[in-house]
Structure 1
Amino acid sequence: MLSLTPALDRLTAMASASHVRACALLLLLSLVAFLPGFSTLQPLDRDEPRFAQASKQMLESGDFVDIRFQGEARHKKPVGIYWLQSATVAAGQALGVPEARTQIWLYRLPSLVGAIATVLLTYWALLAFVGPRLALLGGALMAAAVLLGVEARIAKTDAVLAACAVATMGALARCWLDWTRSLAFVPSSRNWLVFWGATAIALLIKGPIVPMVWGLAIIVLSLSERSFRWLKPLRFGWGLLLCVVVVLPWFVAIAWKTGGSFFAESVGQDMLGKVAEGQEKHWGPPGLYLLIFFGTYWPAAAFAAMAVPFAWVRRREPQILFLLAWIVPSWIVFEAVPTKLPHYVLPLYPAVTALLLLAVINGGIDRFRRGAVATAALVFLVPLALVAVIIGANWSLDNTLPYLALPFLLVTLFLAGTVIGAFRRSDFEGALWRCVLASLFLSIGVYGFAVESLRSLKLSPRLAETVRAAGCANPAVMTLGYREPSLVFLTGTDLAMATTGAEAAAFLNQPGCRVAFVESRFAGDFQTAIAQSAIKPRLLTTIRGFNINGGRKLDIAVYARE
């Protein structure tokens, strides 16, 4: 594998010779990293189908102001992501995509674009800190990061939000480094438009999260400088006006339509509720993000950890200070909030990447430091644990093995092993590029083949298929027990939710083509009610699988009215 080093050197030299080539290579790497499984992965409960279903209902109702999931108001996030998803699905319909409104990959396109934009914008932001060669490596490391790869495949807000965050912070970095004379070039006169344009989009995507990140950074940097004058090139007056022009029309419309309840629910219940206590079983203790960092920022997390002493020693230097101001205050906020979700810290990972690269070029990573090689071994141990989990899940749930995935997983482990060898030779750039290659093979193996082979996890798609196979057009559908949002998305907005067997039996006794899903926990109650009814429904099939959210195996009987 030593021959890989000159090949990587030639590739990076060629690609970093121009920004166009660098962006072309990063686009290619992003597609290889993000596309496996993109269209075949089932809707992932519970957040993704909630977003997709709300966007679908906008198309069904023609109401692009209010946000609803079935008959329930979904006043948690602003409207931006729903508009983007509705637009991509409408475009898919216009282009003739079959059953476009239930094709989850169409709803994921904004996330894919957001993830690719995050990679390209990371390259642009890093040019303020390092040369094109290392900025290219930084963009590649973001494409390889596990967390961004996950968000690229989920139809919700966080990949787009990460792109907005890195755009604002890249612009802010140029302003700060120009002020401190740490930047070799003068920022573009349009830098302020990048900053405020990305902020305006972020406000429509997820409210105040991005302004919180750059606001905390500004406070730290201004206190260190004892002045806010360095912010003058960002034209706060014009910028705030731009945000008002972009954001205010929808905020006024939703306030009028809901009588102000949107703000009461989104701010009072959703945002402040997460600050007060862990919501929806997502509580986590302080320090959780540091613990899972080695998984979510794999494969570069081990090297980033080794860069911490370098960052501390040189914390007063303008470049390092800016990156710490980007990371530390917001990270503390996320750790302090009881509600913990892995993607919350994603907007901070480009800054972690920049710190890692500055440590590499300034001798801040020492392979002779005690425990350094053991830390680098995490690059191998993390995918090894993941492979064990995947094989175990396939065998225990479906009594099979992911045979097509195994070659890619083995290559991943081999490449991860060579990372340790490159690290021991102090070839840190070569080690990080090997990390990127290992991540690409892992993505293909896991998303392209291993997850696809887990048939037990595809409960909702299999249930939706039984509806299509029922033999009648547009059947009414009810579910008893199993109530995941993915089932609503795949079977239709009018999916009825029963709470008792008698209710499901009464539903099947009504005229017309009808299908009911009955989870085994309610089978006795349902059969008792059916025995007392005039019409006996036909058992079409029984679907067996595993519900990740409940953490248990399910048997769901599918009945149809004769």
Structure 2
Amino acid sequence: MSRQHWLLFALALFCGYWLNSWAVPLFDLDEGAFSEATREMFARGNFLMTYLDGEPRYDKPILIYWLQAASVALLGWSEFALRLPSMIAASLWAWAVYRFTREVGGGSHEKGLFAAGSLALSLIPGLIGHAATADALLNLLLALSLLDLWRWIEHPRRLVLLRVYLWIGLGLLTKGPVAVALPVMVMLPFAALYGRWREGLKAAFFVPGWLLALAVFLPWAVLLTLRDGGEFFRHFLLDHNVSRYSDTMESHGGHLWYYAAFLPLIVLPFSAWLVPALASAKRWKSEPLTGYLLVWFGGVFLLFSTSATQLPHYLLYGCTPLFVLFGLHHEAITRRWLALLPAAIFLVLLLALPSLLPLFPPPEHRLYERGLVALIQATVTPGYYLACGGALLLLLVTAFRPGLPAWQATLRAGLAVAIAAWGGVLPLLANGQQWPVKLAGLKAKELGLPAVAYRIHMPSFSVYREAETPHRTPVSGELAFTRVDRLEDLQTEVARPLVVEYQAGGIVLVRVE
């Protein structure tokens, strides 16, 4: 790659995954839950199993917690340290996509750059790259396993297949069965379509690979089972895998069309490249790689479109092949205005957002939402307009720069979107939703009184309070962390005077007399 392309790649990684990661509080629910579980590992001296506010946490296996623990042990407790494993994993994910696309693209650095840059600068990959959760790590490991699986299909080498199983073993430690299910779900239909059963069976029954994967996963699993009698795996497998597919969890239900509608937003501002990427399906017979990539994407798309629990980032398990296809077809779109249109619409909407919020106020009875929106409106700073306006200016300069290919222009548009999203919108959302929680937690720590969470689940409060926060009704002398729309019910239940110790937005911290 030229020096200019290296600079563009580095900027894409920084703006897409690292920008402002140090400046905003943890976001609930997920960041707060992962971070508090990591904090409680240190507090309990137990690094085999996780707890959340004193209760066993069965959501995920252990690897991301170990990585977060290592990060905070090295750097100290901060949002940046808790997010660092995700930022590194996301950056490695983009690097893996760059290398693979360059390899299969005839050694083209431009194809690799566009594939990796579009991954780093797309909206939802950027979101999980910023988040102190397991998602970036999982997507890295899924990508590594399936990209190496293709390398093995093309050039069967024992070392490459062993790598596939190493990634699977680490994936089991990160998320569990999906690390095995996804490669199987891709390899089976691919083998059927192209008559590659020999390769499929050899990969599936590669005993040294299974031994390696189990050597990675089993030591923790066995020690944990000896400690808790198998409770983790009973809850994890049934509640957080089988039930997540068959039953709606945490109010995240959806429809068959959910991911079709959401896909352009997931890859924004590279939405225009969905057309040539998906249109490449017409060449599947003559291009096995195209077929492999589309089977990968299509299998994930169909699986989660029929799931009872749907979240935008689930589709990311199948988006790595889309970004590879973006790179392979980076010159398919030549009309610059068409390529830049999604970014332009998005940035104009962001710039107008503070003016639009008063036009759509939450209903009168939604006190929490009204408080949150009011605080957002009250804390719009010149920095927001600087980030969004500067991003729009960058887009305009890009749009009118002569001789710039559409794919390079869109990478620059991606930088503009990332600057606006992570430099402008993220701090603004934090002002309304998360700063009140952080400040309430710090206030509770300062007061030094016992505290409970009353009908609210925002575990970052416990992170900042540096103590477990049981979920129950408070008694006299305790602090209650809750939402403003729960105060009336709280007053009825305790039947004692409540003293407000802190209140902002939709969050309130009260002391029961």
After TM superposition, the structure 1 = structure 2 runs for residues 324-339 of structure 1, keeping only pairs within 5 Å, are 324-339=294-309
Is 2:342 the partner of 1:378?
yes
> Residues 433 and 391 from structure 1, CA distance in 2 versus in 1: closer, same or farther, beyond 3 angstroms?
farther
Match of 2:18 in 1: 35
Asked if structure 1 preserves the Cα contact closer than 8 Å seen for 2:101 and 2:327, the reply is: no
Deviation of residue 420 (structure 1)? 6.6
TM-score, length-scaled by structure 1: 0.79
Asked if structure 2 preserves the Cα contact closer than 8 Å seen for 1:420 and 1:431, the reply is: no
Residues 439-489 of structure 1: per-residue CA shift (max 9 Å, x gap): 22332333234432453322211212323554xxx4322344444222122
Deviation of residue 253 (structure 1)? 1.7
Residues 104-129 of structure 1: per-residue CA shift (max 9 Å, x gap): 32221111111101110111221232
Rounded Cα–Cα distance in structure 1 between residues aligned with 2:325 and 2:440:
48
Rounded Cα–Cα distance in structure 1 between residues aligned with 2:223 and 2:343:
49
> Residues 297 and 391 from structure 1, CA distance in 2 versus in 1: closer, same or farther, beyond 3 angstroms?
farther
Is 2:384 the partner of 1:401?
no
Rounded Cα–Cα distance in structure 2 between residues aligned with 1:524 and 1:233:
61
> Residues 25 and 296 from structure 1, CA distance in 2 versus in 1: closer, same or farther, beyond 3 angstroms?
same
Structure 1 residues without counterparts, runs of 5 or longer: 1-11, 17-21, 180-186, 509-513, 546-553
Which shows bigger deviation, 440-449 or 114-123?
A: 440-449
> Residues 322 and 498 from structure 1, CA distance in 2 versus in 1: closer, same or farther, beyond 3 angstroms?
closer
Asked if structure 2 preserves the Cα contact closer than 8 Å seen for 1:126 and 1:170, the reply is: no
Rounded Cα–Cα distance in structure 1 between residues aligned with 2:326 and 2:83:
30
Is 2:72 the partner of 1:108?
no
SS in 2 for 1:128: helix
> Residues 463 and 321 from structure 1, CA distance in 2 versus in 1: closer, same or farther, beyond 3 angstroms?
same
Match of 1:303 in 2: 273
> Residues 127 and 208 from structure 1, CA distance in 2 versus in 1: closer, same or farther, beyond 3 angstroms?
farther
Asked if structure 1 preserves the Cα contact closer than 8 Å seen for 2:280 and 2:290, the reply is: no
Asked if structure 1 preserves the Cα contact closer than 8 Å seen for 2:340 and 2:409, the reply is: no
Match of 2:366 in 1: none
Asked if structure 1 preserves the Cα contact closer than 8 Å seen for 2:500 and 2:508, the reply is: no
Is 2:468 the partner of 1:494?
yes
SS in 2 for 1:494: coil
Rounded Cα–Cα distance in structure 2 between residues aligned with 1:263 and 1:217:
26
Rounded Cα–Cα distance in structure 2 between residues aligned with 1:36 and 1:411:
15
Tell which has more relative contact order, 1 or 2 (C-alpha 8 A, sep 6+). Answer: 2
Match of 1:138 in 2: 115
Match of 2:145 in 1: 168
Is 2:252 the partner of 1:282?
yes
> Residues 407 and 521 from structure 1, CA distance in 2 versus in 1: closer, same or farther, beyond 3 angstroms?
closer
> Residues 234 and 418 from structure 1, CA distance in 2 versus in 1: closer, same or farther, beyond 3 angstroms?
farther
Asked if structure 2 preserves the Cα contact closer than 8 Å seen for 1:192 and 1:235, the reply is: no
1:221 aligned residue (190, 193, 201): 190
Residues 129-151 of structure 1: per-residue CA shift (max 9 Å, x gap): 21222112211111111111101
Match of 2:325 in 1: 355
> Residues 26 and 485 from structure 1, CA distance in 2 versus in 1: closer, same or farther, beyond 3 angstroms?
same
Rounded Cα–Cα distance in structure 2 between residues aligned with 1:441 and 1:400:
22
SS in 2 for 1:356: helix
Rounded Cα–Cα distance in structure 2 between residues aligned with 1:297 and 1:255:
40
Asked if structure 2 preserves the Cα contact closer than 8 Å seen for 1:415 and 1:435, the reply is: no
Match of 2:451 in 1: 477
Deviation of residue 30 (structure 1)? 0.7
Asked if structure 1 preserves the Cα contact closer than 8 Å seen for 2:441 and 2:462, the reply is: no
How many residues end up aligned between the 2 structures? 493
> Residues 559 and 190 from structure 1, CA distance in 2 versus in 1: closer, same or farther, beyond 3 angstroms?
same
Rounded Cα–Cα distance in structure 1 between residues aligned with 2:389 and 2:486:
44
What RMSD, in angstroms, separates the aligned Cα atoms of the two structures?
3.1
Computing the radius of gyration from Cα coordinates, the structure with the larger value is: 1
TM-score, length-scaled by structure 2: 0.86
Rounded Cα–Cα distance in structure 2 between residues aligned with 1:107 and 1:527:
36
Asked if structure 2 preserves the Cα contact closer than 8 Å seen for 1:391 and 1:402, the reply is: no
Asked if structure 2 preserves the Cα contact closer than 8 Å seen for 1:147 and 1:343, the reply is: yes
Match of 1:433 in 2: 408
Rounded Cα–Cα distance in structure 1 between residues aligned with 2:174 and 2:492:
49
> Residues 448 and 60 from structure 1, CA distance in 2 versus in 1: closer, same or farther, beyond 3 angstroms?
same
Rounded Cα–Cα distance in structure 2 between residues aligned with 1:52 and 1:118:
22
